[in-house]
Structure 1
Amino acid sequence: MNGTMPRSSLATTADVAVRRTVGSVTTPPAPTTTPLRLPGVMDAEGRVDESRLRMHIFKNGGVSPTERGLVWRFLFGMYPCSSTALERPLLQEQLAVRYQVMKRKWKQMLPDSIRLRLNGTDAELVEAVRYFDQRQAHAQQQDQQEEVRDKLAFLELQAQVLFERVTFDLEELQEAIRIIDKDVPRTDRDLDYYLGEGSGNLLVLRNILITYAAFHPEVSYAQGMNDLCSRFLEVMDSEVDTFWSFSCYMEKFSKDFTADGLHRKIELEAALLKELDPQLYAHLVTDNMESFTFCHRWLLLGFQREFEHSDALRLFEILSCDHLELISQQVERARYQERLASKHSIVPEDNLLTEPQAINTDFTFELFICATILLENRESLLRCRNDVQLIQFTSSLQGTLDLNFTLKKAEEHFYNYCKRSAWDYMNIHCRTRKNKDEHFLYQLRSFFS
């Protein structure tokens, strides 16, 4: 198996994003004490309509904090949306045992790496280890009192067989652990979740990251994953559930942590800004500035530090619901209707051209969010003359941006981009249909009604 974790068939059903009618993002719904009782989303047996769930997240600007933990378990694929309320506890038991076996395997192979190497000057971290050890001891006592040990023993045997042939590159894993041990102590230490006795959660985060790196050697660990995984741990407050949800997320986005993946995303951001504001684009690609690399952290971590913390969580789930994207069914349907209409138009044969790519479907909504931030700070960016000034300016934005305003403006830029693309399409293909219905524009406009 070359060290690669087998993909669980139990956690794949919810991986595919289904896109439906799009509406504008608004403020989140008020908290509710009943988790995930969303009209039309969950049926009587607990199955979730995935497309409706994603639509609900987008249209309501995220979900309430009381719903978020359960919603994320579906949104990121830990729970298959087709699972029932009766099936999910059984699934959770199996995933819990599998995770414990995986964690135990790397600890047995690298016993010297079980404990975090402490910096003696960091009193909070020393205290975090003490809290963590107390929690572990308490959990072990509870396990010994459980009456279901026989059942869990069978599940553990299954997991051991599943991971028996997994081998590690110990040198690479040790290097990953070295970087993790540097990053974990710097993770969101000012959040309530990591203060006081909660500081032990830093060690939980460490276990998750090492286990992920051990069983995903093709990805291993890269800086920034700690901040991303921390977001899952804070919301779910469960080591096991965080591992599996984070793993499902990384199946789709692990390429963003590679040099090629990040370079590709920065190139796309530059291309989008060139479409929206050629002057600002030209300024940012002058010899004195390294193009758009200052957007690196924004795009890698989903604008985690640019918005107030609760808003950053909302934005993360809005972006993750994949609802307002240029590969959506609505855009494809609108373009298809326009192509059908153009076939019935009278266009001279010498004017028939190969159909252009009227829309760049690689422009994801997060790129429009990034572009919006740049455009809203256009004058300040035009005054920047070098990379140092760029970094200083973008650092000054941390925690200051208004999410609702940014979402509204990003939708406007998205719509205007679609509109210009539609006009370009019609100017090439539909020169004789100036007074006909503009199918593509009409349907795109209906996105925001």
Structure 2
Amino acid sequence: MDPERGDRGGEQRSPAEATSDVGVRRTVAAVSAPALAATRLTLPGVMDAKGRVDESRLRMHIFKNGGVSPSERGLAWRFLFGMYPCSSTALERPLLHEQLAVRYQAMKRKWQQVLPASIRIRLNGTDAELVAAVKYFDQRQAQVQQQAQDQREEVRDRLAFLELQAQILFERYTFDLEELKEAIRIIDKDVPRTNRCLTYYLDKGLGNLLVLRDVLITYAAFHPEVSYAQGMNDLCSRFLEVLDSEVDAFWSFSCYMEKFSKDFRADGLHRKIELQADLLKELDPHLYAHLVTETMESFTFCHRWLLLGFQREFEHSDALRLFEILSCDHLELISQQVDRARYQERLAQKCSTEDNPESELQTINTDFTFELFICASILLENRESLLRCRDDVQLIQFATSLQGTLDLNSTLKKAEQHFFNYCKRCAWGYMSGHCGGQESKEDDFLYQLRNLFF
């Protein structure tokens, strides 16, 4: 068969079918060997014989083991961030991956057709590394597309059908061109600022910067309510590096942003900073009072920590571990609502009387996420340095000085202790007001709480 003409048994193919074949070749080019290999890997202890994953066990495994091993990380992230349903089997995932790859390529091709001038990053000639990156990228794409022509007939036909479905799905999708052009302009400024010291972007790996750019533009084009905000390049870079696949990075990043896109809006970030201040006020009122003086009116100096999951404060491999620990949602107060409700129900049955009926009190602020305890532990560990700061400039200098210096294991241990003490204090306050502080009931709650750690 001539892959360029698309002849099949001497039958002349239509222009639409020929166009579909071009999309297939691009699709196959996007399905990297690591991505396909990941569909055949296993996660011992959390995956059954058919390849289905126990989601709660996966999240507990990540938290209690301080992350996953580098060899498990790629597969674990595909489930953790929702690219693959945990209920999918090992036989189903390769087919699911083909569908995701075809759909992604159709989305990318859509904005490239509308804005052909934006297909390539605009270089001013002053960045020799990026000029080389474009060369590496083009060479790699040509090689992979040549390999794609050797696909078996049945595979090509299946992908062609999926391509036709994707074309129909996105045929009527329209863009706000001015907003998309503005997003691309900012992306083209931010992508070159992505950490090029990472092994993933060294030498010919520089071409991965262009892959990152395509992922970010495609996301912005099809999520106009979010579009692009500064910092997303660093966040998306994690997914691309760990998954080593353009397609998988896009879908995993998209799933992550479904939950956390609000953090990139002013109101969402403002709310998170308010919560951080409230938590510090609970843990250390004196330090809190110092940081909210007239010359230091907010906690914005640590907003990047919260926005990007402390990406620059820890050594790179530790930052990846922390990111997956925070994303597993194991130690979140909101996840304890059922157990706490059951506990308080038992407590109410034993302690309430008909003469003194009281409504159940909210004893714990469930908006305090574990990342806030991580941030608080960093602030408390550097308490003396913070107390010496007198204005926002000094606070920013302090935050900058911590980059790459923090120890993850120590920080996690302290954050867990602050979390435990906060819950203990809240529970004790509740029981003191309702039951006279009976220790057996406190022990019952603390026993359940300790089980979250060990």
Q: TM-score w.r.t. structure 1 length?
A: 0.89
**Aligned letter for 1:159?**
A
Counterparts of 1:404 and 1:444, CA distance in 2? 20
Q: Is the 8 A contact 2:187 2:217 kept in 1?
A: yes
- Structure possessing the higher relative contact order (Cα contacts under 8 Å, 6 or more residues apart): 1
1:64 match:
69
Deviation by residue 1:178-206 (Cα, 9 ceiling, x = unmatched) = 00000000001111111100000000000
- For 1:47-58, list aligned pairs within 5 A: 47-58=52-63
| Most deviating of 171-180 and 46-55 | 46-55
Q: Contact conserved, 1:233 with 1:242, CA < 8 A, in 2?
A: yes
Pick the aligned partner of 2:348 from 342, 351, 358.
342
Gaps in structure 2 of 5+ consecutive residues: 1-37
Task: Report the counterpart of residue 4 of structure 2 in structure 1.
Answer: none
Aligned to 1:19: none
The counterpart of 2:195, out of the listed 188, 198, 202, is: 188
Structure 2 equivalent of residue 232 of structure 1: 239
Match of 1:22 in 2: none
Name the SS of the counterpart of 2:165 in structure 1. helix
What is the distance in 2 between the residues matched to 1:208 and 1:306?
A: 25
User: Partner residue of 1:413?
Assistant: 418
* Distance of 1:277 and 1:290 partners within structure 2: 17
Q: In the aligned structure 2, how far is the partner of 1:154 from the partner of 1:441?
A: 57
Cross-structure match for 1:292: 299
Deviation string 1:367-423 (CA, Å, 9 cap, x unpaired) is 000000000000000000000100001100000000000000000000000000001
Cα distance in structure 1, aligned partners of 2:343 and 2:440: 17
Structure-1 separation of matches of 2:54 and 2:308: 28
The structural deviation recorded for 1:436 is 6.0
CA distance 1:363–1:175, shift in 2 (3 Å): same
How many angstroms does 1:323 deviate by? 0.3
Distance 1:101 1:432 in 2: 62
Partner of 2:366: helix, strand, or coil? coil
Of 93, 101, 112, the residue aligned with 2:117 is 112
Question: Gaps (5+ residues) in structure 1?
Answer: 1-32
Residue of 241, 261, 272 corresponding to 2:268: 261
More displaced 10-residue stretch of structure 1: 182-191 or 36-45: 36-45
Answer yes or no: is 1:384 the counterpart of 2:374: no
Fraction of identical pairs, as percent: 79
Deviations 1:328-357 (A, max 9, x none): 24x5314422332233325473x5443322
Distance in structure 2 (CA, Å) of the matches to 1:433 and 1:299: 38
Paired positions, count? 415
Q: CA deviation at 1:119?
A: 2.8
Q: CA RMSD in A?
A: 1.8
Distance in 2 separating the partners of 1:36 and 1:161 = 33
Aligned pairs for 1:259-338 (under 5 A) are 259-329=266-336, 332-338=338-344
- Would the aligned equivalents of 1:345 and 1:432 in 2 still touch at CA under 8 Å? no
Q: Are 2:352 and 2:434, in contact at CA under 8 Å, matched by a contact in 1? A: no
Contact map agreement 1:193 1:234 (CA 8 A) in 2: yes
Give SS of 1:256's match.
helix
Q: How far apart, in 2, do the equivalents of 1:231 and 1:38 lie? A: 21
CA contact (8 A) 1:74 1:81 kept: yes
CA distance in 1, matches of 2:260, 2:60: 21
CA contact (8 A) 1:36 1:42 kept: no
Change (3 A) 1:384 1:142: same
User: Is the Cα–Cα contact under 8 Å of residues 428 and 437 in structure 2 kept in the other structure?
Assistant: no
- String of CA shifts for 1:154-178, please: whole Å, max 9, x gaps: 1100001111121100000000000
- The worse-fitting range, judged by mean Cα deviation, of 52-61 and 431-440 is 431-440
8 Å Cα contact 2:39/2:90 also seen in 1: no
Deviation of 1:105 after TM superposition, in Å, equals: 0.4
